[in-house]
Amino acid sequence: MKTVALKAIVLAMLVGGITACSDSASEKKIAALESRLAEIEAGKNVTATQSPSATPVKAPEVKPEGPIPSFEWTKTEHDFGTINESDVVTYTYKFKNTGESPLIIESVRPSCGCTAPNWTKTPIPVGGEGSIDVKFDSKGKPNAQNKTVTVTANTWPKQTVLRFKAFVTPKAKN
């Protein structure tokens, strides 16, 4: 049943490609669709979500050679405890560069728009210290909150996830 549905989808895409226009890009798409249809008919493991122009799977990153910086965090998780809705709270995550070269933070991305990070933007020398301040605005965020902040740097691994949580007491309804 799956194979029949998949063939129907591929055939519909093929017909759509043929009737759309006859330029070389369409011809390439048609050839790719025909190739995919031949794979399906040959019984190869092809899923309905794959497409002929699918982006290739990105290879996993490889640890760079040579001296690299390294984070040593004081804490990577923080609990604000119970706060009131609309409170704005801040926590500072502190770290030291225990690696072998200057540490550069490329980006700091919060998981939610209610969180605003600020971080050391200059390179941190070996043995140097830096920080990431995270401000959480609990307005409109009642009950249990678990948020993350993803730090991307020239370390290995490239990303570190910082976490914080809070229980936000909802405002009284008027």
Give the domain 71-169 fold. Answer: Immunoglobulin-like (2.60.40)
- Angle, helices 2-20 vs 24-41, to 10°: value is 160
Instruction: Please tell me whether the peptide bond between 157 and the residue prior to it is cis, using omega within 30 degrees of 0.
Output: yes
Instruction: Give the pTM.
Output: 0.65
Nearest to 103 by CA among 134, 72, 78, 149: 72
Which element (helix H / strand E) includes 7? helix 2-20
Burial 42-73 (b: 16+ CB within 10 A, else e): eeeeeeeeeebeeeeeeeeeeeeeeeebbbee
Domains of the chain: which residue ranges?
2-41, 71-169
Q: Which residues of the chain have pLDDT under 50?
A: 14, 17-22, 46, 48, 52
Exposure b/e, 133-167, CB count within 10 A at least 16 = b: ebebebeebeeebebebebebbbeeeebebebebe
Given this model, what pLDDT does residue 61 score?
Answer: 74
**Which pLDDT belongs to residue 8?**
56
